[in-house]
């Protein structure tokens, strides 16, 4: 992280993660992801991190949260986008899972994703599409042919 305090504020206040622990001597902060003690996100200041990559993290959310996140991210000054980095106005469906997702970047350019699993069967032959197109194809949730 180029600015640990900015990143802590982002993950705590914008993403809503619970701060679990800080280690000032190491320039590190740790957040619980979901239920405490089951999954964790570790942030390190530049120069103290064991890795130096552009990373991707996906946070599982409800479909309602994924839909609402587009406006919430814009209100926070962030750009909601597809997994291929195009701006979006609604979640994008990844048919091979299937899941509705909204991508955005953290203050250091790491790729973050809100992802909501969908109840329909996987459709790996289909390309990514807006949620409204997926819903039009699946109507009441039943399977349709390609």
Are β-strands 111-117 and 99-105 bridged in parallel, bridged antiparallel, or unpaired?
antiparallel
- Residues 60 and 125 grouped into a single domain: yes
Lowest mean pLDDT among 4-13, 35-44, 47-56: 47-56
pLDDT per position as a tens digit, 37-48: 777 888 888 665
Q: What is the number of structural domains in the chain? A: 2
In 24-125, the DSSP E strands lie at 28-32, 40-44, 56-60, 92-94, 99-105, 111-117
- Give me the pLDDT at residue 145, please: 46
Whether residue 129 is contained in a domain is answered as yes
- Residues 58 and 118 grouped into a single domain: yes
Residue 128: domain span: 53-140
pLDDT per position as a tens digit, 87-128: 999 999 999 899 999 999 998 888 899 999 999 999 989 999
**Closest Cα partner for 11 from 35, 27, 26, 33?**
33
CATH of the domain at 73: 3.10.180.10
- Residues 23 and 69 grouped into a single domain: no
């Amino acid at each position: 992280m180029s600015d640990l305090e900015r990143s802590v504020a982002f993950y705590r206040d914008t993403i809503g993660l619970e701060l679990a622990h800080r280690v000032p001597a190491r320039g590190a902060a740790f957040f619980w992801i979901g239920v405490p003690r089951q999954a964790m996100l570790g942030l390190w200041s530049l120069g103290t991190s064991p890795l130096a990559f552009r990373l991707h993290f996906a946070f599982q959310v409800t479909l309602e949260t994924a839909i609402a996140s587009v406006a919430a991210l814009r209100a926070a000054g962030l750009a909601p986008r597809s997994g291929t980095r195009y701006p979006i106005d609604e979640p994008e469906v990844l048919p091979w899972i299937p899941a509705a997702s909204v991508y955005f970047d953290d203050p250091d350019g790491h790729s973050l994703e809100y992802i909501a699993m969908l109840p329909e069967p996987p459709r790996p032959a289909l390309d990514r599409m807006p949620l409204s197109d997926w819903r039009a194809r699946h109507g009441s949730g039943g399977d349709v042919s390609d």
